[in-house]
Structure 1
Amino acid sequence: MSKELISSKSKQKNRPNIEFEHYYTENPTSELIVRNLSLRLKNGHQYIFKAPSGVYGKKRIDKASILLIENVKLTNEKVLDIGCGYGVIGITLKKEFPGINLYMSDINIRAVDFSKINSKNNNVEAVIKQGNLFEPWEHEMFEIIVSNPPIVAGKEVLKTLIKDSKEHLNSNGKLFLVAYHNKGGSSLELHMKEVFGNVIELEKSGGIRVYMSIKRD
């Protein structure tokens, strides 16, 4: 068996049909299959991640996440990667900007488990918690929040993510979201403008946009 592919080999004869199970679920029931995926940035830096089934980006690291990573400039901020999946965005930002304090969370238990594995494998220190949206961070404030949000979760979840992001940002804090503009991104952009009073398209490529809003007093 290839080192790139690990399977639990379970027969699943008596298990329910899980073909349409979304990654935005708390406890995936799909057979665990893990791939080693490589991320190479424009600056030549390369990172390896273990990507499990039942989590977004299980077959490849998506272009949207890479575009977001390459357009966020940091120094020593307190950064939250919300809906972190198996940790690609947060971990890569920590490697690129070692001075940041990294926090990550996801509703998906399997995603959180592999965020911890990938953090360890990439020698990254991070506070990683499981929970829906900002439930794990009730009393925490941040200077930067980044996310490749789960479009499949629906508009109400995404609106809540944006509204609660503002409530968890310090003054002049920034929210960065990335999405395909014609597949939900335009709605995200409009709601960011409504909530924050400002939004800019920081970058666009192949239909993908990176949106940024700043919390003003």
Structure 2
Amino acid sequence: MRTYGTFIADVKLLLSPLYGIEEAKAIGIRLLESVCGASVWEHIVEPERVIDQVSSESLDKMVKELLRGRPLQYVTGVQQFMGRDFKVSEGVLIPRPETEELVLWIKDEYRSGSTLKILDAATGSGCIGVSLACELPGAEVYMTDISSKALKISKENSERICSEERLKRANVKNPVIFRADLLTGALSQTIFSGGTLDIIVSNPPYVLESEKSLMRSNVLDYEPHEALFVPDSDPLLYYKALASWAKDLLKDGGALYMELNEAKGLETAELFMEREFCDVELRNDLNGKVRMLRCIYREN
């Protein structure tokens, strides 16, 4: 008979060689939550609670997938971001905790979303754009990606999460989602006219091809490379594109917020200063790594 307590013990034994004991235990708790609806404390306060046969089989299947290296978020189909559950699957980048800090930076600087127009470029799962729509009620948020899979997932997340959020706070608007290629600049001009956006935000690909050897296999084998990597020969190509988009689409005084490669912080800042953006600011993440940049567009 399998219980919450024995399942956690089994998961620690099986997964600790891959993840370490503490992370393996945390994974076991997440699996119980996903399959059994258990809270994070139930395995402690009710370790003898019995897991039914159907749930036990589902848990076994998930553990086998994890042993093959499949990321937990793809196994459960969910990643939490800004306190909300976002659907994820192969073909869409898994949201990282560091990206929450980018959202919080924008939220702290604007507070109210009543008149804001925001574009989330290369939206992926939609975690940034949807979170901003929820955190800044009234904001008009637009989300773009070149990937049809990302557009599908981000639309599902937008519809579900914004609907749930409207039960708690009024005036939360569903983002407008459409396909666009950040690099070619192919953008539907029927969505909005140039010079009308207050904010562009993006977490573009920025990991160098040469940095692949530093990454875990579960990232390399499962997450979309087109959302992660850039050629060593042109590591800032997406930031060059974002600078162009910003000059076309931001209103005077509008802001561009980006996540970036910690090794390319100064180089990225210089790129925007050379293109005559103002108030260029780099920020560290909670781990002390240069992770974010904000700059302001001013018309001549």
TM class by shorter chain equals: 0.7 to 0.9
Deviation at 1:193, TM superposition (A): 1.3
TM-score (norm: length of structure 1): 0.75
Secondary structure of the residue that 2:106 maps to in structure 1?
coil
What's the TM-score once normalised by structure 2's chain length? 0.55
Match of 2:178 in 1: 129
Q: 1:63 to 1:180 in 2, by over 3 A?
A: farther
Instruction: Select the residue among 110, 134, 138 that pairs with 1:95.
Output: 134
Q: What's the CA shift string for 1:157-184, capped at 9, x where partnerless?
A: 33122222222111111111122321x3
Unaligned runs of 5+ in 2: 1-30, 36-57, 59-73, 164-172, 207-228
Answering whether residue 114 of structure 2 is matched by residue 64 of structure 1, we say no
Supply the RMSD in Å over aligned alpha carbons.
2.5
1:85 equivalent among 110, 124, 142: 124
TM-superposed deviation, 1:186: 3.1
CA contact (8 A) 1:87 1:119 kept: yes
**Residue in 2 that maps onto 1:173:** 254
1:213 is aligned to: 295
Larger radius of gyration: 2
State the aligned residue count: 183
The answer to whether the 8 Å contact 2:278/2:298 transfers is no
The 3-state SS of whatever aligns with 1:135 is coil
Q: Which amino acid aligns with 1:66?
A: E
Q: Summarize deviations over 1:117-145 as a string: whole Å, max 9, x none.
A: 00011025111011201422446331110
8 Å contact kept, 1:147–1:176: yes
Partner of 1:37: 79
Name the counterpart of 1:54.
91
Q: CA 1:63–1:129 in structure 2 vs 1: closer, same or farther (change >3 Å)? A: same
Task: Pick from 257, 261, 266 the counterpart of residue 186 of structure 1.
Answer: 266
Equivalent-residue separation in structure 1 for 2:265 and 2:176 (angstroms):
28
2:215 matched residue in structure 1: none
Q: Would you tell me which structure has more helix in proportion to its own residues?
A: 2
